[in-house]
Structure 1
Amino acid sequence: MTNSSILKISRVTGVLFLLSLIVPILNWFFMLSNFFSVQGNTSLEILSNELLFRLSIMNEIISAIIIFTLAFFLHLSLKTINSNLSLFAFSLKTAEAFLTLVLALGHFIILLVIKEDANKIQFIVDVLIGKHIFLTIIPGIFFGLSMVIFSYIFLKSKYIPRVLAVFGIVSYSLVIIYDSTQMLSPYQASLLIVQLTGSLPVCIFQVVVGLWLACKGITIKSK
């Protein structure tokens, strides 16, 4: 690839980094969080805000598309550095996108079922919606694993500052540890300090690397 083409690819990658963070956050705070009923009747909350719930499902589908597209552009940018490792990371991130689609499908099935009878599956609805964050653990582990590898390849490529690449490796490693802790010891994972450690560094990294790639881009230095 020429410097011009990889510069364009890197800028698209930067935008996708930002979108992969912003879109799920918007979905959680402005859509999905509205369906946690204090009275415990999540089904009625969904039916009374059906359009918002449908928008949340669409948001999850869009998130999956963004995840896959980001994986594709990362692989496109980094395959010349280490093709096999980049392809492995691409495969892991594709699995993350697939699992995100599975969550979206689950939410859509919930909507179809409760429109027939909102009371019969109330417990299942409460589990699938109320435990949404817990259900993102498995895609989260794939997310962390794939991005640790991509960050390592960034480190070897010198496309971004070394300190930023190392910060990425550390941040995504913390995501893996945090999601694994949620799986093995939910109480420990519920502690505020643990939640912040598992989520804040990666959010900072995604914003910084996204802006870096979108604004500055990367170039291949001639040997």
Structure 2
Amino acid sequence: MNSNKKAAKLVGALFILAAVTAVIGLNLYNPILKGPDYLIKGSEQANQVITGALMELILVVSAVGTATIMFPFLRKYNETIALWHVCFRFLEAIIITVGVISVLSLLTLSREYTAAGAPDIASFHASGTVLIAIHDWTFLLGPNFMLGINTMMYSYIFFKSKLVPRFIPILGMTGAALVFIAALLEMFGVIQQLSIWGALLSLPVAANEMILAVWLIFKGFNVSALAALSTKKNTFGSST
């Protein structure tokens, strides 16, 4: 029981860490992702950009951590969905990491641009546009598209298993559907990334993660639900 409580607290802490580092990282990227003079601002604010990359790497570790620590609990209800959740969370982490690489590559381009005596502005901007586009697409596919899939899977298991109060996974499944829809709308150009509509559609999934995190830290998983799942699993295992 103590190990279950510790695991729940760790999952909650990692959810909060992931959210905080994601917001900080995105804001620290502003000099190199925003404005027409990003090739100059990027190299001038290199340490800030690198710190932003480190924040996103912490986000990657946190995301993988939540999936792997929750896996033993989720598998008690449905091992297949639990395994899918781990795999898709890893895929989300990989996509975010590609975005980090694109930003660091853009920083290298910015340094080369400022170091060049008479740079070919057009070619530098062409390369910069490609790298920014890679980051934008990874930001859409990772923290939006894949996040919707991941949240739906673990929320479904939480709802069916009653490991946490059902209002939390209901919010989670609602938020998962909305952020997935937001990703599709952004992919087809209906709404813009980092728009008001995008923020509104993403708000429920963010609220779900924070509410779930706080619940797990202070309350943990439902002990009676865990016992029921373990009994069911043992009974099924002995019958087979």
CA distance in 2, matches of 1:41, 1:144: 34
Q: Does 1:123 align with 2:126?
A: yes
> Does the CA contact (< 8 Å) of 1:141 and 1:176 recur in 2?
yes
Decide which structure has the larger Cα Rg and report it.
2
Matched length: 218
Letter in 2 for 1:164: I
Unaligned runs of 5+ in 1: none
CA distance in 2, matches of 1:108, 1:193: 28
From 27, 30, 35, the equivalent of 1:33 is 30
Cα deviations by residue, 1:68-94 (Å, 9 ceiling, x for unpaired): 111111213211111111001110010
Aligned to 1:159: 163
User: What is the 5 A alignment of 1:153-192?
Assistant: 153-184=157-188, 186-189=189-192
> Does the CA contact (< 8 Å) of 1:9 and 1:77 recur in 2?
no
CA distance in 1, matches of 2:124, 2:37: 11
Aligned to 1:209: 212
CA distance in 2, matches of 1:210, 1:19: 10
CA distance in 1, matches of 2:34, 2:199: 25
Aligned to 1:78: 74
Aligned to 2:110: 114
The Cα of 1:104 is off from its aligned counterpart by: 0.9
From 58, 69, 90, the equivalent of 2:65 is 69
Aligned to 2:237: none
From 30, 37, 47, the equivalent of 1:51 is 47
From 137, 143, 148, the equivalent of 1:144 is 148
CA distance in 2, matches of 1:128, 1:190: 16
Aligned to 1:90: 86
Task: Determine which structure has greater relative contact order: mean sequence separation of CA pairs < 8 Å that are 6+ residues apart, divided by chain length.
Answer: 1
> Does the CA contact (< 8 Å) of 1:160 and 1:218 recur in 2?
yes
CA distance in 1, matches of 2:194, 2:104: 31
Secondary structure of the structure 1 residue equivalent to 2:223? coil
TM-score, normalised by the number of residues in structure 1: 0.88
CA distance in 1, matches of 2:110, 2:32: 14
The Cα of 1:192 is off from its aligned counterpart by: 5.3
TM-score, normalised by the number of residues in structure 2: 0.82
**1:219 to 1:164, Cα distance in 2 relative to 1, 3 A:** closer
> Does the CA contact (< 8 Å) of 2:106 and 2:132 recur in 1?
no
Secondary structure of the structure 1 residue equivalent to 2:54? helix
The Cα of 1:143 is off from its aligned counterpart by: 1.4
Identity %: 21
Secondary structure of the structure 1 residue equivalent to 2:153? helix
> Does the CA contact (< 8 Å) of 1:37 and 1:45 recur in 2?
no
Letter in 1 for 2:154: F
**1:136 to 1:190, Cα distance in 2 relative to 1, 3 A:** closer
Letter in 2 for 1:76: P
